[in-house]
Amino acid sequence: RHAAAASAAPDGRGFFVFGGTRRGKPGSRSPPTPLDDLWHFDATKRRWSLLTQSGLGHGLGHGPVPLAPAARSHASLVAAPPDSLLLYGGAHCTPGCTCYGDAWVYAGGGWRRVSTPSSPTHRYRQGVVRDPSSGAFYLFGGESYKPYMYHNALDRLIVPSLKPQPGAEPAFTAFSAAGEAAAPEGWAAVGGGGPTSAPPPASSEPRDGAPPPQAAVAPPPGEGV
């Protein structure tokens, strides 16, 4: 597979891999297959374990609220000690792309979608990190497909169930803001510029299941990070 999301395990003894795209065999005309499985590799035992897999491509269940993340590539996966993960964004390309702006928490052997009143523009190839002091997640950059945009704003996601216990982790205050401890679950703009429009590529259909190439667009003066 390629373009899978990966994160070191919170216990430091392995790592997790989610999704990505599996290409067809060389010479085959079969389209690439987006994946929605979550794996854990135990570095001590040198063994892979399959944790979740719906196999339906668009999440478990067919109702308005899916029970697991849809198959996707170019997503972000971030560990949240002691034993949870946050999955954000990505794109489903088969070909033709659907970008995602949803956030999911994996804990206790299952997925839960993070419910927020609003959220940043859907995107893929973004960066997401976690502040170990506050437990907040920070989203920066990425690209949107339909509309074609690059992003250079900084957004913060608060998930109360993933906040650290006092003294559980070393202090790290970069990008922390006063009042985070009492903030409700949801997104908040932190800083940086807004999205930058990019011209549509010559072909709107991505090749080999990957999002289409786009010309680089520099951020407005003074808004880069």
Instruction: Evaluate the omega torsion of the peptide bond into residue 117 and state whether it is cis, within 30 degrees of 0.
Output: no
Whole-number Å distance between alpha carbons of 2 and 110: 24
Give residue 196's pLDDT. Answer: 63
Q: Which residues of 190-213 are buried (b: 16+ CB within 10 A; e: fewer)?
A: eebbebbebeeeeeeebeebbbbe
Give residue 186's pLDDT. Answer: 72
**Residue 182: pLDDT above 50?**
no
Whole-number Å distance between alpha carbons of 21 and 217: 27
Backbone angles phi, psi at 149, to 5 degrees: -145, 150
Residues contacting residue 107 through CB under 8 Å, at least 6 positions apart: 83, 84, 85, 161
- The overall pTM is greater than 0.85: no
Give residue 183's pLDDT. Answer: 55
pLDDT in tens, 8-19: 998 888 999 999
- Specify the 3-state DSSP secondary structure of 113: strand
- What mean pLDDT is reported for the chain? 76
pLDDT in tens, 188-197: 777 666 666 6
Whole-number Å distance between alpha carbons of 150 and 220: 12
